Structure 1
């Protein structure tokens, strides 16, 4: 099959002109070379595609059948070529960009708005997922770039730390810790936790930080989305360790954690050795230029009177 592919355009040109010389002139190849290529094509297929009439040719029934398939194949190749050229166009190309669910409310829309101020026609295919799933899609070539946490350390990926988010212990507003401004995580050792499922970066952070604080968290509920977790906390079903919300949520209090240091790093990752198209390179440079100021300021909260222990 692969040996036939380079000869399809030659065959289609001869079929269109019904004349080897004119087809050779269109293709910019010697007539003798084109004649030999057609002879090899017919030999490979084991059928005659053309009937010869002096200097002209006409398709045989087998040739007409093969021409229909050849034209479909050539059209598909041209459409594919046009698609990749379009995606790589510096002004109108496409970026496949992945990011964490918790960055989708405000951070990513603000980043895209700022980038498109200078690149108004660049297109984006946006994917929201948890970190491990995005890295697999990055490796598979389905994503060009992704914002993820924790920052991956793998030989087949390149990653750069861009920013960090402070994490809070989220408790119901009638909880014993709700009036505190700050706590040590060890003070929540006896609580039931509501958290994200295994595989999520926040779940690994919870497990790691609790281990540093000297306990294993007792998991009451697992979910897939941070705001759902907050809703479960508001319902009194446990406490959670989460990044700050975009908007303050009724029914919960967000308490700063002083020990261990409660932050999650946000990084930009891409596949090592894979060349960037111009729009991907431009967006990557834009994101790297935002290092240290990727995230918007956290919302202002109005805590209850606190016990500063």
Structure 2
């Protein structure tokens, strides 16, 4: 019934407003005969009379007034929805629904949006932070236009493009035996207890894969949902972690460069294959692709003061046997 009624609501509302078929037809730009037949069919479909006819003029019946109130609300809602989607698609003032990993939120994403809006100041963003798999599901549901994720998805319904890579570091407590080091082979941490993200997170999968490549399976003591929480657990002496660099150096931990295996995670942008882009989404997608190799800001570890005492100094000055070059 709805599919039959919907196309005729605007016709009905115009006739009701003018109380005259000819004037309503002129406003709508349709032949009078077409409009008259549409009203007759509408009444037949409903099984009630909406108009009392007096020559060329018409007046609403009681049923017609009841139906008009709801028809006007429906038409107003349709007009509101049409205006909303048109505004979101406007090249200068439209909206981009953009998802990204929590670890990219403090520094990378704000910098990207600031740079993009230098040339597109009116474009609006709906921002969603989540872990990779959850964002991909929101892409598929049409809730996101684009997302920054890691690792890059390999799925037939998605398109992914590599933008950059981010080094991962072994994060240890500042009083840990390895804290005097600058570089380390991951295999040297095989006996350590790890704190990691929960299974299903991309960084957890990367951590497990890197440890496997180094010849061991990590002994996991704590699992979390956010990288900075893990860094706090490390600072509390509850384990070590493989993490991307922090936006701001965290006291209580030391960040070690991992020399082997190559500890990086790829960062890329993904979108739904075959999904048409609005102008603002297309503009932002082109901007992201133009940032290949320049997406992730460089991070420099703060200078760590070695712990006092001859043993620490000896370890810090040790040769290749103690520190992987």
TM-score, scaled relative to structure 1:
0.98
| Contact 1:246 1:299 survives alignment (8 Å) | no
Specify the alignment match of 2:67 in structure 1. Answer: 66
Aligned ranges for residues 23-38 of structure 1 at < 5 Å?
Answer: 23-38=24-39
CA RMSD, 1 decimal: 0.9
Measured against aligned partners, the alpha-carbon deviations of 1:72-114 in whole angstroms (never above 9, x if no partner) come to: 0000000000000000000000000111111111111111111
CA shift, 1:155, in A, is 0.8
Aligned ranges for residues 204-215 of structure 1 at < 5 Å?
Answer: 204-215=205-216
Which consecutive segments of 4 or more residues in structure 1 shift more than 4 A?
none
CA shift, 1:18, in A, is 0.4
In structure 2, distance between residues paired with 1:120 and 1:192 = 48
Aligned ranges for residues 1-309 of structure 1 at < 5 Å?
Answer: 1-304=2-305, 306=316, 307=318, 308-309=323-324
CA shift, 1:246, in A, is 1.4
Which ranges in structure 2 are unaligned for 5 or more consecutive residues? 307-315
SS in 2 for 1:237: coil
In structure 2, distance between residues paired with 1:18 and 1:272 = 50
| Contact 1:247 1:299 survives alignment (8 Å) | no
Measured against aligned partners, the alpha-carbon deviations of 1:244-294 in whole angstroms (never above 9, x if no partner) come to: 111211111111111111000000011110111111011111111000011
Measured against aligned partners, the alpha-carbon deviations of 1:170-195 in whole angstroms (never above 9, x if no partner) come to: 00111111112211111111111111
SS in 1 for 2:162: strand
SS in 1 for 2:65: helix
In structure 1, distance between residues paired with 2:119 and 2:251 = 38
| Contact 1:19 1:55 survives alignment (8 Å) | yes
In structure 2, distance between residues paired with 1:82 and 1:97 = 21
SS in 1 for 2:154: coil
Measured against aligned partners, the alpha-carbon deviations of 1:214-272 in whole angstroms (never above 9, x if no partner) come to: 21111111111111111100000000000111121111111111111100000001111
| Contact 2:255 2:301 survives alignment (8 Å) | no
Which ranges in structure 1 are unaligned for 5 or more consecutive residues? none
| Contact 2:169 2:257 survives alignment (8 Å) | yes
CA shift, 1:301, in A, is 2.1
In structure 2, distance between residues paired with 1:273 and 1:293 = 27
CA shift, 1:211, in A, is 1.2
In structure 1, distance between residues paired with 2:56 and 2:132 = 65
Deviates more, 1:164-173 or 1:180-189: 180-189
SS in 2 for 1:2: helix
TM-score, scaled relative to structure 2:
0.93
Measured against aligned partners, the alpha-carbon deviations of 1:112-143 in whole angstroms (never above 9, x if no partner) come to: 11111111111000111111111110111100
Deviates more, 1:134-143 or 1:173-182: 173-182
